[in-house]
Amino acid sequence: MAITFYAYPKCGTCRKAKKWFADNNVEVNEIHIVENPPSKEELAQLVDHSGLPIKKFFNTSGQKYRELGLKDRVATSTQDELLELLASDGMLIKRPIVTNGHEVTVGFKEDTFEETWK
């Protein structure tokens, strides 16, 4: 099954993940998360398949997150409002997001990648 890798080329964590895929001969379909962010519907599926709360999909260390003062909004907004917000700007999304349509990982942890994508 094809693996989709949402990444931002300037992101150090994304580069580490990309290197891990290359080192482990795992072929991925890389999508530039800022130029082509996942749609609201795609994000809803990613959140659902990941088993993670939606707040884990926010790039909380990002400048845009701080500029928009999202810390308080994330705690009080509905899931639908949060999906809308994430879909509106790829810089708000924690990266990389990797999926095969069933499993989803957010961020890069080598042990999680070993377990999920090898």
Tell me the DSSP string of the chain.
Answer: ---EEEE-TT-HHHHHHHHHHHHTT---EEEETTTSPPPHHHHHHHHHHHTS-GGGGB-TTSHHHHHTTHHHHHHHS-HHHHHHHHHH-GGGB-S-EEESSS-EEES--HHHHHHHH-
Q: The domain spanning residue 56 has which CATH number?
A: 3.40.30.10
pLDDT at position 18: 98
Number of folded domains that form the chain: 1
pLDDT at position 1: 64
- Residue 58 scores a pLDDT above 80: yes
This prediction has a pTM of 0.94
Catalytic residues: 11
pLDDT at position 65: 96
Tens of pLDDT, residues 65-75: 999 999 989 99
- Residue-number span of the structural domain to which 26 is assigned: 4-117
- Residue 104 scores a pLDDT above 70: yes
Residue 17: pLDDT band by 50, 70, 90 thresholds?
A: very high
Q: Is the peptide bond before 9 cis (omega within 30 degrees of 0)?
A: no
